[in-house]
Amino acid sequence: MSERKILSKILRLDKNIYSDLINLDNALQKGILIYITVTSLNTLSQTRFFANLLDFIETNLILIKNEFSDEEFQIVQALVDDYSALYRQQEVTITILFSSVFTATLISLIGLSICYLILKFLLSKDPKPVDLILISCFSSAPGLLVFFALVSSNIVFQFLLIMIPGIYALIAFASGLKQVYLLRNIEVVLLLVTLIFSGAILGPM
| pLDDT of res. 204 | 46
Q: What amino acid is encoded at 32 in this protein?
A: I
For each of the chain's 205 residues, which pLDDT tens digit applies?
A: 778 899 999 999 998 999 899 988 889 999 999 999 999 999 999 888 988 888 888 888 877 777 777 787 788 888 888 877 777 666 667 788 888 889 999 999 999 999 999 999 999 999 999 999 999 999 999 999 999 999 888 999 999 999 999 999 999 999 999 999 999 999 999 999 988 887 666 654 4
Q: Note the pLDDT of residue 65.
A: 74
